[in-house]
Structure 1
Amino acid sequence: MLDANIKTQLKAYLEKLVQPIELVASLDDSAKAQEMRGLLVDIAELSPKVTLRENGTAARRPSFAIAKAGETPRIHFAGIPMGHEFTSLVLALLQSGGHPPKIEADVIEQIKGLDGQFSFETFVSLSCHNCPDVVQALNTLAVLNPGVEAVMIDGGMFQQEVEDRQIMGVPAVYLNGELFGQGRMELGEIIAKLDTGAAARAAEKIAQKDVFDVLVVGGGPAGAAAAIYAARKGIRTGVAAERFGGQVLDTLGIENFISVKETEGPKLAMALEQHVRDYDVDIMNLQRAVGLKPAADGKPAEVTLANGAVLKSKTVILSTGARWREMGVPGEAEYRTKGVAYCPHCDGPLFKGKRVAVIGGGNSGVEAAIDLAGIVAHVTLLEFGSELRADAVLQKKLHSLPNVTVITQAQTTEVTGDGQKVNGLVYKDRASGETKKVELEGIFVQIGLLPNTDWLKGTVELSSRGEIIIDDKGQTTVPGVFAAGDCTTVPYKQIIIAMGEGAKASLAAFDHLIRTSVTA
């Protein structure tokens, strides 16, 4: 099952096991069961501290569980955790075997203190790059708290369950049989939903922090670069981020980050955070900013967070990034995660053999259509303009596919459904004015980005597109408030450009601090 290179790497990892673990298989006569058994045999042969037994009693078959020897298993895999989920498997093995998870001591104590019985089911697709974070977070909860049980379910293997629960987006997490959440969730977010007093405690702790010299709002590439450049100046630096890594976390393949031939968004996001943590930076993750009060009368600027806490800083760098643009048509919100999706890599496999549409003819839209064409029965790509805007090489590939239809001058006007899931869309032919309907089961929206700046209206000047207007040094229209990255008027929304803009804004903020202190 595993090739020689992976076996060598896994064997090295398994040497970190502190105590014996047991793999418990619940198999059937299917080909997938034999494939799963081959994987488990390979793992058991790599370490004397790993044993395998095949008398599991799990209802889902094939599946397997991992536990410390002698304990009832609390971590389960209903599927073969390869692809993006292989890391989830490795971490589950190590943590079950006593290797400590890499999280703060106070978070560990918070997890251990959760009171109750929590049975989590997480439906994933193995091509989803957002799913592993959720699976790994829930597995960590199960390792540390005996009241928690977690199972990863491959939607491709257990398609009937996916159909019965009408799951059209992954990861989809159920707690004790009820929907708990959909989409990417970090460990802190999950704990906060289980520990109802966590937000208030976090707000109280944040409110007690001293005044920062530089406060970065946002934890994407621009924010990370800004924080590093500020910290290297030896000044008091903080980062308040709704989720560290930002939109990079939702990016699958990255092939234009100079000096790195290819990588994946989650890997780059992890590297960004590790780099920032190498410096004396106060990182406040899972904190959404909702208000900005500029500095005045000798008092520092204030940033208000969603939990009510207020952070104070002499300068502020806004790097809140952007989010997927929505169509804004009737039915879109109603059928989000019920057929309307924004990540073809994550949710595409759930539409195997079905008819889908892609909205948008730029690079993202055409790439999505090409990827989906290999999975679904048919793709209809709708472009508002008179021609596609994607690179020529992508267009050539798209037009070579037999199960793709391209419709230009198409303005989507409505998403239709049966009350439970999508069954089509309505569009207006902009050339003839005629209204037409396409019957389908899924819609993937790929029409660009919107800056995360709604909370700044009336504070800093924004463009007609909602972007923060800045000068060549990243200075906004408010003295002492700078901005960088995709939330600004800087053209070309690229990771490498955002990093450079973050560094520039940080240097400008430092220059501002020097000049204002001399004036004072």
Structure 2
Amino acid sequence: MLDANLKEQLAGYLQRVTQPFEIIASLDDSDSAREMHELLQEVAALCDKITLRTDGQAARKPSFALKRIGSDTSLTFAAIPMGHEFTSLVLALLWTGGHPPKVEDGVLDQIRALDGDFNFEVYMSLTCHNCPDVVQALTLMSIYNPKVKTVIIDGGLFQDEVTQREIMAVPAVWLNGKSFNSGRVTVEELLAKLDTGAAARDAAKLSAREPYDVLIVGGGPAGAAAAVYAARKGIRTGVAAERFGGQVNDTLAIENFVSVMETEGPKFAAALEAHVRAYDVDIMNLQRAKRLIHAEEPGGLVQIELENGGVLKSRSVIISTGARWRNVNVPGEQEYRNKGVAYCPHCDGPLFKGKRVAVIGGGNSGVEAAIDLAGIVEHVTLLEFGEQLRADAVLQAKLKSLPNVTVHTMAQTTELTGDGNKLNGITFTDRSSNTSRHIELEGVFVQIGLVPNTEWLKGTLELSKHGEIIVDAKGQTNLPGVFAAGDVTTVPYKQIIIATGDGAKAALSAFDYLIRTPAPEAVAA
């Protein structure tokens, strides 16, 4: 199954195995079982510390378990982990064989401390780019805590089971026979859901930290760039992020970041985090900001209160909490997100070349999206809720000149339909006649605006009528020492490349503020 190049690479990795372990296969007479057996034979032949057995009696066949000699760990693959999951297999082999994972000691301590019976089942697809994060998180937990048992299931291999449990999207995690989580999730997020006392312990640790010179709230492209630029100045830098990478994690394809020809959102987000971690930056992930408390005296410390009760202090703050796409809030939207439902025509438009799509929204962003898409796709249907389009006249004129665009005004979207795996149409009500219509298509772009993540700042910072943080050319807000960058601000054109430049600028501005402002000790003296 493995070509010569892949075998050579895998053999190199398996040299890091230090503890013997067994692969116990449970096979039947299917073609899939023969394929699995071939893969496992090739893997075992590459490392003398791996023993392959074929006498397994697992209920799911074909499947195989990894078991370290002398341990009670329980990790099973009811899958042939190739495609996106080959990396998950390699890591599972290394971790089972004693090679240490690249995670913080605190994470491993939290995994080991879990008490209870945790029987996980993870349904995944070999073509899913979000699944490996979940698979690898639960793999790690199973190897480091014998009370955590995990079965990784390829939905394509066990379709009857998927149908019975009505699983329509992956990754899907079941715990002790009940649905537990759907979608991408990190090991830290899983631990937070399982360990109910973790939040209080985390809050106490965060509150005890020394004040930062620059504290960045938000870990998307703007926050990452700000962290790198601040750290390079040699000042104490921290990042508190709800989810490092932000919206980038949910973007399938990125083809317009200059110098990077093509990449995927999760890969780009991982690269952002890796770049930040290359510097002396204190990253605090899974932290949601609740309140900003500005110092009354000049040069005083700014405080950020977190949802878990912790409080972080800093001489300056850069807010880069980003924005989220405004949802239509109709059935099917969340189910088919990234499966035909998209929010960025610049990023995802090329994926629909030659297909039929719809755009929801008749403002400037909606009409611009329709014009942009019309040059790529077969046909565009634009739906506007009101009696007429709200876009600038010049944009409307351009739209009307395009032969492959149909516009429906007085159209209220009621449902986004699909076959369980991907979108296949849109249903809307003609408000003029109160009749319902359905259009078959492959993609829907929601363009009814962005919602900046600034609810927690109302009454503290000056916001625009759209809720964006008002900043000047240097990223300065109305409060001294508080800066903002990226999609959360009034800066136009919400693009990754603009956000990164914005973050760098805010960090340079914060540094300039620090060198011109006495430290709190000097102020007190």
TM-score (norm 1): 0.85
Q: Where does residue 288 of structure 2 map in the other structure?
A: 288
Distance 1:493 1:360, change over 3 A: closer
1:69 Cα offset (Å): 3.7
Aligned to 2:488, what secondary structure does the other structure show?
Answer: coil
1:73 Cα offset (Å): 5.7
Q: 1:9 & 1:390 partners in 2: Cα distance?
A: 46
TM-superposition CA deviations, 1:81-130 (whole Å, max 9, x none): 22221111110010000101112223222211211111111112222222
- Note if contact 2:358-2:445 (Cα within 8 Å) is conserved in structure 1: no
Distance 1:359 1:101, change over 3 A: closer
1:204 Cα offset (Å): 0.5
What amino acid is aligned across from residue 104 of structure 2 in structure 1? E
Q: Where does residue 510 of structure 2 map in the other structure?
A: 509
1:284 Cα offset (Å): 1.1
Q: 1:381 & 1:478 partners in 2: Cα distance?
A: 42
Aligned to 1:169, what secondary structure does the other structure show?
Answer: coil
What amino acid is aligned across from residue 128 of structure 2 in structure 1? C
Q: Where does residue 306 of structure 2 map in the other structure?
A: 305
State how 1:9-48 maps to structure 2 within 5 Å.
9-48=9-48
Moved more, 257-266 or 223-232: 257-266
Q: Where does residue 250 of structure 2 map in the other structure?
A: 250
State how 1:327-346 maps to structure 2 within 5 Å.
327-329=328-330, 332=331, 340-344=335-339
- Note if contact 1:44-1:50 (Cα within 8 Å) is conserved in structure 2: yes
TM-superposition CA deviations, 1:415-465 (whole Å, max 9, x none): 399xx99998641347x6553243999996644643222222222222333
Q: Please, which runs of 5 or more residues in structure 2 have no aligned partner? A: 381-403
Q: Where does residue 385 of structure 2 map in the other structure?
A: none
Aligned to 1:92, what secondary structure does the other structure show?
Answer: helix
- Note if contact 1:366-1:395 (Cα within 8 Å) is conserved in structure 2: no
Is 1:466 aligned with 2:449?
no
Is 1:487 aligned with 2:488?
yes
- Note if contact 1:239-1:281 (Cα within 8 Å) is conserved in structure 2: yes
Moved more, 155-164 or 304-313: 155-164
Alignment RMSD: 3.2
Q: 2:342 & 2:105 partners in 1: Cα distance?
A: 45
Moved more, 138-147 or 127-136: 127-136
- Note if contact 1:326-1:445 (Cα within 8 Å) is conserved in structure 2: no
Q: 2:407 & 2:442 partners in 1: Cα distance?
A: 19
Q: Where does residue 347 of structure 1 map in the other structure?
A: none
- Note if contact 1:382-1:406 (Cα within 8 Å) is conserved in structure 2: no
Q: 2:241 & 2:228 partners in 1: Cα distance?
A: 15
- Note if contact 2:224-2:273 (Cα within 8 Å) is conserved in structure 1: yes
Q: 1:439 & 1:291 partners in 2: Cα distance?
A: 45
Q: Where does residue 389 of structure 1 map in the other structure?
A: 369
Aligned to 2:503, what secondary structure does the other structure show?
Answer: helix
Q: 1:43 & 1:397 partners in 2: Cα distance?
A: 44
Is 1:362 aligned with 2:352?
no
Q: 1:56 & 1:49 partners in 2: Cα distance?
A: 19
Q: Where does residue 269 of structure 1 map in the other structure?
A: 269
Q: Where does residue 168 of structure 1 map in the other structure?
A: 168
Distance 1:291 1:502, change over 3 A: same
- Note if contact 1:341-1:445 (Cα within 8 Å) is conserved in structure 2: no
Moved more, 481-490 or 421-430: 421-430
Q: Please, which runs of 5 or more residues in structure 1 have no aligned partner? A: 345-356, 374-378
Larger-Rg structure: 2
Is 1:236 aligned with 2:236?
yes
Q: Where does residue 409 of structure 1 map in the other structure?
A: 408
Distance 1:55 1:238, change over 3 A: same
Distance 1:80 1:384, change over 3 A: same
Q: Where does residue 7 of structure 1 map in the other structure?
A: 7
- Note if contact 1:131-1:170 (Cα within 8 Å) is conserved in structure 2: yes
Is 1:64 aligned with 2:64?
yes
Moved more, 300-309 or 251-260: 251-260
Q: 1:205 & 1:497 partners in 2: Cα distance?
A: 34
Aligned to 1:254, what secondary structure does the other structure show?
Answer: coil
1:310 Cα offset (Å): 1.3
1:5 Cα offset (Å): 1.7
TM-score (norm 2): 0.84
Aligned length: 489
- Note if contact 1:252-1:265 (Cα within 8 Å) is conserved in structure 2: yes
1:506 Cα offset (Å): 0.5
Q: 1:268 & 1:441 partners in 2: Cα distance?
A: 29
Q: Where does residue 201 of structure 2 map in the other structure?
A: 201
Q: Where does residue 352 of structure 1 map in the other structure?
A: none
Identity across the alignment (%): 56
- Note if contact 1:382-1:408 (Cα within 8 Å) is conserved in structure 2: no
Q: Where does residue 323 of structure 2 map in the other structure?
A: 322
- Note if contact 1:380-1:406 (Cα within 8 Å) is conserved in structure 2: no
Q: 1:380 & 1:256 partners in 2: Cα distance?
A: 21
Distance 1:14 1:412, change over 3 A: farther
Q: 1:128 & 1:121 partners in 2: Cα distance?
A: 16
Q: 1:389 & 1:62 partners in 2: Cα distance?
A: 47
Aligned to 1:389, what secondary structure does the other structure show?
Answer: helix
- Note if contact 1:64-1:77 (Cα within 8 Å) is conserved in structure 2: yes
Distance 1:367 1:324, change over 3 A: farther
What amino acid is aligned across from residue 311 of structure 1 in structure 2? L
Distance 1:336 1:366, change over 3 A: closer
Q: 1:442 & 1:150 partners in 2: Cα distance?
A: 35
- Note if contact 2:357-2:444 (Cα within 8 Å) is conserved in structure 1: no
